[in-house]
Structures are given as C-alpha cells and as structure tokens.
Amino acid sequence: MKKIQHYLIQVKKLLDFTFFRILFFLVIGVILFISMYGNVKPEKLDVSLLTVADQTIRSPATVEDKTSTEKKRQEALNQVQDVYTVKREYTSNQVELIASIFDAAVEVHTEIEAEIKKQPADEEIPNESETIKPTTEEKVTMLKAKLTERVTKELSERVFTALVQASRDELQIAKDLTVTAINHVMNQRISADDVENAKKSLEEELKFTTLNGDLKSAAIELGRYAVIQNEFYDPVATEELREQAAESVEPVKILQGQIIIEEGRLIRQEEYRQLELVGLLDNEKSFKPFVGLIVLLLIILSAVYYYFYQMKEQPEKRQTYLLMFGIIFLFSLFLLKIISMLQIFNYSGIGYLFPAAMAGMLLKILIDEKIAVLTSIVLAVCGSILFNEGVSGTLNFTEGIYILFSALAGILFLSDQNQRSKILQAGSFAAGVNLFTIWALMLLPNGQFTGLEYGYYIVTAIFSGIGSAVLTIGLLPFFEASFGILSTMKLIELSNPNHPLLRKILMEAPGTYHHSVMVANLSDAACEAIGANGLLARVGSYYHDIGKTRRPNFFIENQLHRENPHDRLPPEKSANIIISHVTDGVEILKDHSMPKEIIQIAEQHHGTTLLKYFYHKASQNGELIKEEDYRYPGPKAQTKESAVIGIADSVEAAVRSLNQPTPETIESLVKKIVADRLQDGQLSECYLTLKELETVSHSFCETLKGIFHSRIEYPEMKKKVIQV
C-alpha cells in the first residue's frame, strides 16, 4: 500500500503541471479510442455476386438509395396523365358566329322591305307579280357583304341561298334550333379526334327538326361549321402535376440495422448493389467513423477538463480528485469493454450485467455529485457504442438509457447520507430502477418475450444494482487509504463514540471529552452556516484535544475538586505542558493513522496564539522572557474548519468560566475573542471573510444561548412541624 501511495503522490505532483494534465487527458482519450475502435471500424465483407451469403448482413448506417428513389420517382411520373383544358369560351364564340349569320339574313330581308316601301307614291303601282324585287343572286350578294370573307369562303353557296329564300319566321326557328344544338354539343369535351363525331352528333340532332329541306341542310352545314375542337393539352398544368407527383415520392433509404441479405440466400444484383451502397464492399479508405469518434471524445474530455479547471479547491486536492476520477472511469470502462466482448456468445441484453451505478456512487462519495452525473453520462455514451451488437458505427440507445438511469438512481439515493449501509440500499434501489427500465425498454417496441427471458433480465438487473453496491463498498477503502481521502462515511465512522481514541478521551479526560463535544456542537453549526464542512468540523473537534490525555490533570476541565498542579510549577514549565498537548495530540493521531485533515485541525486549532495567563505570570516575576516561548508552535489555521474550531475552543472555555452567563455577556465575549484572533493575525492564512466571521459569531451566540438559557429557580420547600 505504501508503494502505491508513493506512486500516486508522484503522479499527483506531475499533474501540477499543465503539460502533464493535458497528457493525462490525452492518455484517457487514447484508451477510449482504442476501446471503441473496433465498434466504429467499418466492416468489409468478402462476398461475390451470385454467391450464397454465409451470414446475415445488416446495414451499418442509414443510407439513401438514390437509384431506387429515382426509379420510384420515374414510376410516379409515368403514372401522371396529360392535363387537357376545355375552352368554354369557344362555345359562346361559335354560337355568336352562327347567330350573327342568321341575323345577317334577317337584315337582308329587312333592307329589301325597306327599299320596296321607298318606291314613289305617284307612280302607278304595278301588280304584285310585277313588283321590283332583288333576285336571289342579289340577295346572296347582299348577305355575303355583311359577313366576313372567311365565312363566305368556308360555307357553300346553297347555305346562303337557303337563308335568303327563307322567311323571317323560318330563319328565327332555324336560328334557335341550330344555336341550341351547337350549345348542346360544344358543352361537351371535344378533342381533335372527336370533332367529326361531334359534328355527326349535331347533324343527327338537327335532322329530325321541322325545317324545310333546304333550310334544314343549311342549318346542318352551319352547325357542322360551328362545331370545333374545344379540349386542348395544358403543358403548364401537366408539369405542375408531374412536379407534385415527384415531390410526393419519399426517398428510399436503407436503414441502419436493416437486413440486406439473410444467411443462406443468393446474393443477387440488387442485394450486391445495396452492399456496395452502404460501404460494405470497399470501405478500407473510409475515415469518417474515426473522425466522428475523435470529435465525440474531444467533446467528452473537454467537458471533464473544464469541470476540473473551474473547481474551487486547493491544487493538491484538485489533483487528487483528477487522479481518482481517471482511475474510477478507466476501471468502469474496462468492465464495460470486458462485458461487451461477451456479445460474441449472442446473449441478448448481456450489457445489463454492467454495474452502471458503481462509478457514479464512488465519485459522489469521494468528490461530488456533478462529476458523478457527468461520468454517468459519458459511460452511457460509451456503452451505447460498445454494445452496438456487432453493427459497426451504430448506437445502442437501449443500453445507453439503461446505464444512465441506473447510475443516476445510485447517485440520487446517496444525496443525503453516505454511510456504508446507504450504499447497499442505493444498490438495491438501482436494481429496482434497472428492473423498471428494462421492462419499459422491452414494452416500447411491443416485443414478445418468454418467461425464461423475463427471468434472465430480472437476474441481470439485480446483479447490476447489487454488484454496483458491492464494488463501491469494496473499492472505497482502497481510495480512502491510497489517497488519504476523508470521505463522509469515514467521518461518520470516526464520530462513533466507540472509537478507541474517543473512548480514551472519555475514560482518561472526561472533562476534555465534554469540552470537545461542546466545541463540536458550536463548530458544526457555524461551519454549516458559512457553507464549510460541518461534519469535518464536528469530528475534528472530537479529536482536537486528544493530546490532553497524556497529562489530563494539568488542564482545568479535568481538575474537578482537585488541586491545580500549575500552582506549584514555574510559568515556563506550565506553558510547555499546555503547549505540548498540541504536539502530543498530533503524535497520537499519527500513530493511529488518522486522516490528515483531523491531524491538521489538532495542529492548527490554537495557531500561534499566546498563553496570556502564564506569560503575564512570568512577566510579574521580573524574569527576562520572550513572547515566542509562550506561543503555540502553529501553524496558523489553514482552512475554515480549523479557524472555526479554534475560535469555538476559546469561546466555549471562556463562557464556561462565567458564573452567570447572560445573552449580553455571551455576545460581548464572543465578539471580543473574534476581535483578538483578528488582531493577533491568527486568521490571516485561512479563507474566512469578515462577513463569514460575523456569521460564525452569530451562530456561536445562538448555540450558546440555547445551552446556557436561564432556568426557573424553584423555591425551597420548608417542612412544617406539626405538634401533637
């Protein structure tokens, strides 16, 4: 053990230099990289096209299959039909055209009638048969003049002849029938191929009308002339529809962990293409997974480095914490790697055996809760990589969640008290959380499990929780002994009244024991008030006067109704005896291998204060004396706990010497003692501020007022003499 302590001390000294701290984290990073290298290294398969697969091959990553996506998109485009738009305005245009032709024929009749009426009245009116009327050819000419050249060319001469020969009523009837038929036919979709059928449909509709032969033929020809194509291809709408169809196609992906080819199946062209796509055929030059792992490790190590960098502790203590973290973390990583290697036996859920709560509980007890939680998160990430079930580069989130929940359960259970019994309880609590976590992770994917599998998972969960507690209890003494760590549990053990040294004080110096308990009460409350370690102050107070057990009768608290031996001794001799209780106490504590924090409290609680009583007694004798000879050897208080205990020691002794302590006298005495310590420079080397000193004084006063509260004086009962 001494050799181990020697090596650890040497390493801690090296960690005092920035270069070696960076090297320390670099070593941890390299170990992490090596441990997870095989789990992220791309797997290369020795397979050939049209051969039988000798194993089930899964995709190591999620990759988009662009070829299949494009094929699927093309199929969607092929299913999109061309969009044709109906020009509804064509119907109204054609109807108006035919109506205007009939109206032009009516106008011809009107003009002819008007010309006849304009003939002179004095002229002899000829017979009706001799009335001057335009010929049919002239009427046709008049009608064509009212129409466009295009219409006159595209319609036959007999159409115009029939129109000018028909009466107004016949023209109106023919117009209505023709327009109605055109409307009926043109309101339907008429493509280029359907124009002739539409014309025939109109012809059939007009064929059975009551019009005379020539006018019916004219109406039919006009109707056929009016029926045209009204459905046309719309390239813009068609393209929009094609874009929508292409966008609706989801990319085809080969998912991480997806089976590409099952064992014993023939590797066809499609499977071979997918193997090549996911990088399983030629990935020797792939460096992306390693870059990703390095970046992840940099994030982890940076977070841990920052935690220790901003830690407000003494450099020596910070180096101790850093070294302990490294040992605990690497040991946990070692266990994690060993268990992950058991995956070759294809045991489902083998990672649940990992004692996930061990590192968190150890760090919570030895350092603090923050680094415990941070380490738990890091181990969860490492576990999700190490337990990737043989699929390189994947993350097993189930294992990561399990490790995180189990570790947090152990940490949170130890939040209040850290006795060894609590560790076992925390392990049991973690086992319970493990059970519920596994149960939840089994139910989420709607998995089906047998009773044997349920039993297996129960055993792994309990083993992990209880194993974490057992390892924590077993490793804790190693860290405490190797690093000289004064943990909370160690302090609680030292506060046990059955401890040999405490029994020694009680049996050999009962007054000192009572005094130490009073100082412990004062110091504990005051340290808690300023945020210092109250438990350390209490336990340190128990042992701070252990040196008095060598000469108990020379100290006033043990001189109950006895003669004071100092009355017969010269002041320098008495001073040496009183001062020696500090060095004697340090010697006794070292002989019993007590923690250095307790030894330092015993050594520093008097600092370099002056033994005023014996100093003044010696000066009254007229001797030539040195003040240094009547001062304690020190050193001065280096910590808040030592300073508070030193003040509490003086305050308790002073208040106990008062005949009738009142709140006012107690408060005045406390302030005087604190002021004396300040003026004497006894608090110049610790971290106590003036505000904290005021808080300490107030705490002392409150505690002492509770101890020395005024009591009711009961009147003495006088006996009455009854005479008979």
pTM of the predicted model over 0.75: no
User: Does residue 86 register a pLDDT over 90?
Assistant: no
Give the whole-angstrom CA distance, residue 632 versus residue 582.
Answer: 8
Domain at 490-707, CATH from 1.10.3210, 1.10.1740, 1.25.40, 1.10.3470: 1.10.3210
136: left (phi over 0), alpha (psi -120 to 50) or beta: alpha
User: Tell me: the pLDDT tens digits for 374-433?
Assistant: 999 999 999 998 888 656 667 888 899 999 999 999 999 886 555 567 888 899 999 999
In this prediction, residue 282 has a pLDDT band, given cuts at 50, 70 and 90, of low
What single-letter amino acid sits at 201? S
Collect all residues with Cβ–Cβ distance below 8 Å to 606 and sequence separation of at least 6. Answer: 582, 632, 634, 646, 649
User: Tell me: the pLDDT tens digits for 576-604?
Assistant: 999 999 999 999 999 998 888 899 999 99
Token digits for 386? Answer: 């190490």
**Is the Cβ–Cβ distance between 253 and 277 less than 8 Å?**
no
What are the residue ranges spanned by the domains of the chain?
2-13+318-484, 84-233, 490-707
Is the Cα dihedral 29, 31, 35, 39 positive or negative?
positive
In this prediction, residue 300 has a pLDDT band, given cuts at 50, 70 and 90, of very high
Give the whole-angstrom CA distance, residue 28 versus residue 30.
Answer: 5
Tell me what the pLDDT averaged over the chain comes to: 84
pLDDT attached to residue 719: 42
Nearest CA-CA partner of 558 in 489, 608, 510? 510
User: Does residue 722 register a pLDDT over 50?
Assistant: no
Residue that is written with structure tokens 């012809």 in the block:
203
Task: Indicate the range of 4-18, 59-73, 450-464, 708-722 predicted with least confidence.
Answer: 708-722
Mean pLDDT to the nearest integer, 225-233: 86
What single-letter amino acid sits at 343? Q
Token digits for 548? Answer: 């008095």
Cite the DSSP H helix spans in 155-234.
157-165, 168-186, 195-207, 213-226
pLDDT attached to residue 393: 61
pLDDT attached to residue 285: 56
Nearest CA-CA partner of 144 in 131, 133, 157, 130? 157
Give the whole-angstrom CA distance, residue 604 versus residue 683.
Answer: 11
pLDDT attached to residue 717: 45
Nearest CA-CA partner of 381 in 300, 290, 304? 300
In this prediction, residue 358 has a pLDDT band, given cuts at 50, 70 and 90, of very high
User: Does residue 523 register a pLDDT over 80?
Assistant: yes
In this prediction, residue 650 has a pLDDT band, given cuts at 50, 70 and 90, of very high
* DSSP class of 513: H
* DSSP class of 259: E
User: Does residue 636 register a pLDDT over 70?
Assistant: yes
Tell me the β-bridge partners of 58. Answer: 259
In this prediction, residue 328 has a pLDDT band, given cuts at 50, 70 and 90, of very high
**Is the Cβ–Cβ distance between 597 and 638 less than 8 Å?**
no
pLDDT attached to residue 714: 43
What is residue 233's three-state secondary structure? strand
Give the whole-angstrom CA distance, residue 587 versus residue 632.
Answer: 16
Give the whole-angstrom CA distance, residue 493 versus residue 242.
Answer: 80
Mean pLDDT to the nearest integer, 564-573: 85
User: Tell me: the pLDDT tens digits for 182-203?
Assistant: 888 888 888 888 888 988 888 8
Say how far residue 617 (Cα) sits from the centre of its chain. 70
pLDDT attached to residue 403: 94
Domain at 2-13+318-484, CATH from 1.10.1760, 3.30.1330, 1.20.1410, 3.30.450: 1.10.1760
Cα-Cα-Cα-Cα torsion 293, 299, 302, 306, nearest 10 degrees, comes to -160
Helices 168-186 and 88-117, axial angle in degrees (round to 10): 170
Mean pLDDT to the nearest integer, 44-56: 70
Give the whole-angstrom CA distance, residue 600 versus residue 543.
Answer: 11
What percent of the chain clears pLDDT 90, i.e. is strictly above it? Answer: 33
In this prediction, residue 546 has a pLDDT band, given cuts at 50, 70 and 90, of very high
**Is the Cβ–Cβ distance between 525 and 707 less than 8 Å?**
no
Give the whole-angstrom CA distance, residue 483 versus residue 317.
Answer: 10
**Is the Cβ–Cβ distance between 646 and 606 less than 8 Å?**
yes
CB atoms within 10 A of CB 357: 37
